[in-house]
Structure 1
Amino acid sequence: MREINNTKIIAVDHGYGNIKTANTVTPTGITAYESEPIFTGNILEYNGIYYRIGEEHKEFIPDKAIDRDYYLLTLMAIAQELNLHSVHEAHVHLAAGLPLTWIRNQREEFRSYLLQNPEIRYRFNHKDYHVRLVGCSLYPQGYPAIVSRMGELKGTNLLADIGNGTMNILYITNKKAQESRCWTEKFGVNQCMITAKNAILDQFGVKIEEATVEQILRFGTADISAPYLDCITAVARQYVADIFATLRKYEYNPDLMRLYVVGGGGCLLRNFGKYDRSRVTILDDICATAKGYEYLAYMSLKRRG
C-alpha cells in the first residue's frame, strides 16, 4: 500500500479464482449468513449480513460489474491491506484492472461499480472500517505485472497472463506494449481444473476434492495414489500443450521472441510443460499484477501533484 496526499492507494486484482492485493491472496468464494458464522476467519459484516470469504473459488463471469460479490470482495481486500498497516479509517484510491480486450468497453462501468458508495462503514474479522473512496484507476490485466521490467524487454516479447478464468496475450516490442496485438482467451486454469475432476470421475467413478487437484496443479504432486495422480498429471500436460498451441495461433515462435508468463497458470507450465527454459520467464509472484496496479496509480497521481 502506498500513500500520496494523505490518500492510501490500494490495488485489487479481481481474479476469478483469487482476489489479490499487493500483499494478500484470498480465494473468491462467498457464502452469506443472516447470523454470525460459527467458525472464524475472513468474515465480512456489511449492511446487516455476514459473508464468509475464501472457502472456494467463484465461477467465470464475463462482466464483473453485474456480480455484487466482487464489490464485497473489494471491501475485504481494502480491509486486509489497511489492517496490515494498523489503519482502520482512510481515504482510499483504488487501482484495479480488467482483461486486455475488455477494458475498452467495460472500464467506466466497472469504475462506477467500484465507486458506487463514496463512504463505507463495515466490519471485517471483528474490526470496524470507515473508508472514503476518492478515486479509481483501471489498467489492462497482466501488463502491470512486468512494468518494472520493461527496460529488459528489447526486441519482440510475448506476455501471457494465465489466470483462473482467462488468458490475456500481449506483444511488447522494444519496451512498448502493442495495443493492436492483444487478445483475451477464455482459457484459464479453471478449464484444466474442470477437465481434471471430470477425468477422475470418468476413469474411477469417484469425485475428487478441488483442493487436491489444486495442490497437484500448483506443486506437481499430492498425497494420493499413483493412478489418480497420473490421471491428473496427464490432463495438466495436455492443458499446457494447449496453452502453447493457443500462443502459436497468435504467431508465438520461441526462436524469434521471449515469452513472459504471469498469473497462477505459470506454475502449470513449470510443473508440466516442455519448453526452452532459457527463452521463457515465469513470474512466480501471484501478487505481481496488483503491485503493478499500485505502482502505476501512484506514479499517475504523483504526476498530477
Structure 2
Amino acid sequence: MERLFTNITNEELTQNNNDLHTGCYAGEREDFMMNGIYMTENGLKAENAPVKIALDHGWSSIKGEHIFMETSVVPVDYTPLTNHGLLEYKGKKYIVGQGRLGKQATKTENENYFLLTLAGIAKELQYQGKTQIEHVELYAGVPLTLFGAERKEFRDYLWHKERISFTFEGVHYSFFIDKVKIYAQCYAAIANRMGDMDRLRCVDLGSWTLDVLSVRDRIPMDKDAYTYELGLITAVERIKKDALPKLKCEIPEDDIIDVIRGKQSNVNAEFLPSIEKGLQQYADEVEAKLREIKVDLLHENIVYVGGGACVMKRFGRTLGRNIQYVTDVKANAIGYRYLAENLG
C-alpha cells in the first residue's frame, strides 16, 4: 500500500446532527538552520522560525485553516477602485477570489493556482497578524486517487527556491518557502476526527469530483479508493439549466450556494423549489453511486466531507448514527496541518 504522505528532502530530489467534531518535503534550504538559529545563554533559540500555512486547493475555492476565497484570477492593466483581491506579482496585477475559476486540465498547467497560493498565504498571515515574516512552511494536498501521480509535480509547482515578493491588498510580503508538504485530500479531512471509529468510508463531495476512501484500523486503504466526476458543480449547473424554461431566468449560482449552506432566507422564494429539487436529485445520485460500489449505507460508518456534506446532511435519504457529516469546508486544510505535526 502506498503511503498517503511522503517525506522527500532536497538531497533526495537532487539524486532523482451527526456533525463530526472531534507529505512531501520540498525545498529545504540548506542554510536555514544556520541562519534561523542562534545561541543564547539559555541555549538554542529559534529566530525567524517558519510560519506554518495549510491550504486546500479546490476547483471552486481555496481554503486555509482560517480563510476561504474563490478561485478566479483576472489579469488587469489598470488600478482598481479598491485593493480588495488585488495581487501584484512580478510587475503584473491580478484580481483574485471574485468568482469561480473555470476547470483546468490540471492545477499546474499555468500560474493561476500559484497566484492563488500567494493570496491564500497572505490571507492566512493577515489572520495570524504575521505579515512581516521571512520563512513559510506550506502544507497542501492532491486528490487521493491521484496522489502517486501528482504529488511531486504539485510540490515542485508550489515550491520556489528564490525569495518570493508580492503585494496583496496593499500589504507587501517577502519570504522564502522553506518546505512544501503534500498530503491526500479526503483522508486529511478525517485524520483528526475519527474518534473511536476504526473502520469507515470517507465520502468527499468536492466541486468537480466525488472521492470515496476506505479506512481500516485508522489506515487509509488507497487500493480501495474511488474518484468519480460527480461533484457539486454538476448539480449546480443542472439546477440552472432545468429551471430556466420554467422561471424564464437563470437562477444565480450564489443563490444555489446559499441554499446549500442553509441560508435560504437570502434566496428568492420563487427559486427555492427548483433548487431543493435539484439538490435532492444530487443526493440520490450520490447514494446510488455508493451502493453501486458496494458501500453499505445502513451499517458501515460513513463520513461525508467537503462542500457536499451539507447537501447530504439535509437531503440524504439514508440516515442513522453510523452516518456523520464534516460540514466545515476547511477540514482538509486543518487536516494537512494535523498530519504535518503528527506524521511529519
TM > 0.5 between the two? yes
Is this contact kept in 2: 1:44–1:76, CA < 8 A? yes
1:124 aligned to which of 163, 168, 176: 168
Q: Which amino acid aligns with 1:107?
A: R
Is this contact kept in 2: 1:170–1:181, CA < 8 A? yes
Partner of 1:139: 183
Q: Distance in 2 between matches of 1:5 and 1:224?
A: 47
Is this contact kept in 2: 1:236–1:272, CA < 8 A? yes
1:209-229 deviations in whole A, cap 9, x for unaligned?
A: 211121122216345554431
Q: Distance in 1 between matches of 2:251 and 2:332?
A: 31
Partner of 2:66: 23
Q: Distance in 2 between matches of 1:226 and 1:121?
A: 47
- Determine whether 1:218 maps to 2:218: no
Partner of 1:54: 97
Partner of 2:300: 257
Alpha-carbon distance change, 220 to 122 in structure 1, aligned in 2, over 3 angstroms: closer
Identity level (%): 29
Partner of 1:108: 152
Q: Which amino acid aligns with 1:68?
A: E
Structure 2, gaps ≥5 residues long: 1-45
Structure 1, gaps ≥5 residues long: none
Is this contact kept in 2: 1:35–1:49, CA < 8 A? no
Q: Distance in 2 between matches of 1:297 and 1:224?
A: 40
Consecutive aligned runs of 4 or more in structure 1 exceeding 6 Å deviation: none
Q: Distance in 2 between matches of 1:223 and 1:21?
A: 26
**RMSD after superposition:** 1.9
As a proportion of its length, which structure holds more helix?
Answer: 1
Is this contact kept in 2: 1:118–1:134, CA < 8 A? no
Q: Which amino acid aligns with 2:287?
A: F
Alpha-carbon distance change, 294 to 118 in structure 1, aligned in 2, over 3 angstroms: farther
Is this contact kept in 1: 2:299–2:322, CA < 8 A? no
Q: Which amino acid aligns with 1:215?
A: D
| TM superposition score normalised by structure 2 | 0.82
Partner of 1:90: 134
| CA drift at 1:165 | 1.6
1:148 aligned to which of 169, 184, 192: 192
Paired residue secondary structure (2:327) = coil
| CA drift at 1:59 | 2.4
| TM superposition score normalised by structure 1 | 0.92
| CA drift at 1:104 | 0.8
| CA drift at 1:300 | 4.2
Alpha-carbon distance change, 48 to 76 in structure 1, aligned in 2, over 3 angstroms: same
Q: Which amino acid aligns with 1:29?
A: S
Matches within 5 A, 1:67-86: 67-86=110-129
Paired residue secondary structure (1:150) = coil
Q: Which amino acid aligns with 2:93?
A: Y
